[in-house]
Copies of this chain bind each other. A is one copy, B any other.
Amino acid sequence: MTYCVGLLLDQGMVLIADTRTNAGLDNVSTYRKLTIIEKPGERVLALAAAGNLSMSQSVVGLLEEGIEDAETGTIQKLEDAGSLFQAVQLVGRAVRQVRSIHEPGLKEAGLSFDVSFLFGGQIAGEPMRLFMVYAAGNFIECGQDAPFLQIGEHKYGKPILDRAVGYDSDLYDALKIGLISMDSTMRSNLGVGLPIDIAVIRRDALEAELVHRIEAGETYFHDLRERWSAALRAAHMAIPRPPYGQKR
């Protein structure tokens, strides 16, 4: 399992991805699921993956090698894409290409082709954009009304995002809320776990402002988890008890 969340705000973008992978409960490991592609001053792109690890790694590998354009024969890479829209189209093509290779074999094994990606960033001269790419290679774009996208085990961590994040949120407040969302998910699903990779990209900076891995035992994140638990307990204590008590 995996949980990744991307937030697209007025001040910039935050991406958070856990690193746990598991093939059954008895085969748990740590893999990086967040990739940053950077040409400082020209473009900064980020890609986070969820789903079958062998499939998502194949997609990332294909994007690194470059995809041949069937018509012109040129090799296309994210580093050279002319726009973010062309870049996300390229991610979609990579997904479809990997799917066409592996889906028949997966089906024979009774498995489904199950990957999804968050992909976003900024290219000089363009606005910052964030997309979610589905297993069919199609994609949607993040808007301002619900300024976040999630992939993987998304339900446990959604209530806090629904309530606390707005397009005008401060970039590091959004990072904090994203980490709370990750914490809620980790508490409820053992398939999501530390370390956590985070990236913060400030709008128009055209390079990552922060790329960091939160390891188990790190003070800030440990403190955040404790404070959030205490705050939740205090929050419900402040609400009056239900007034119902009469028998029907």
Cβ-defined contact, B231 with A172, below 8 A: no
Given contacts A179-B242, A232-B163, A235-B231, contact A247 B209 (CB under 8 A): yes
State how many angstroms separate the Cβ of A109 from the closest Cβ of chain B: 21
Q: How large is the interface on A (under 10, 10 to 19, 20 to 34, 35 or more residues)?
A: 35 or more
Given contacts A162-B187, A187-B159, contact A176 B232 (CB under 8 A): no
Cβ-defined contact, A176 with B239, below 8 A: yes
Given contacts A155-B155, A241-B172, contact A247 B162 (CB under 8 A): no
Asked if A135 lies at the interface with its beta carbon under 8 angstroms from chain B, I say: no
Q: How far is the CA of A245 from the CA of B179 in the complex (A)?
A: 15
Question: In the complex, which residues of chain B have a beta carbon less than 8 angstroms from the beta carbon of A151?
Answer: none
Q: How far is the CA of A241 from the CA of B180 in the complex (A)?
A: 12
Please list the 5 inter-chain residue pairs (A to B) with the smallest Cβ-Cβ separation, ordered nearest first: A231-B235, A155-B155, A159-B184, A211-B248, A172-B241
Question: In the complex, which residues of chain B have a beta carbon less than 8 angstroms from the beta carbon of A155?
Answer: 155-156, 188
Q: List 22 A-B contacts (CB under 8 A).
A: A155-B155, A155-B188, A156-B156, A156-B159, A158-B188, A159-B184, A159-B187, A164-B232, A164-B233, A164-B236, A173-B236, A173-B237, A175-B242, A180-B236, A180-B239, A200-B244, A212-B244, A220-B240, A220-B243, A231-B235, A231-B236, A232-B235
Interface of A is mostly: helix
Given contacts A227-B239, A236-B177, contact A244 B159 (CB under 8 A): no
Cβ-defined contact, A160 with B244, below 8 A: no
State how many angstroms separate the Cβ of A162 from the closest Cβ of chain B: 6
> Interface 1/0s, chain A 153-185, versus B by CB < 8 A?
001101110111000001011011101100010
Asked if A246 lies at the interface with its beta carbon under 8 angstroms from chain B, I say: yes
Cβ-defined contact, B224 with A231, below 8 A: no
Cβ-defined contact, B163 with A210, below 8 A: no
Q: How far is the CA of A239 from the CA of B180 in the complex (A)?
A: 10
Cβ-defined contact, A239 with B231, below 8 A: yes
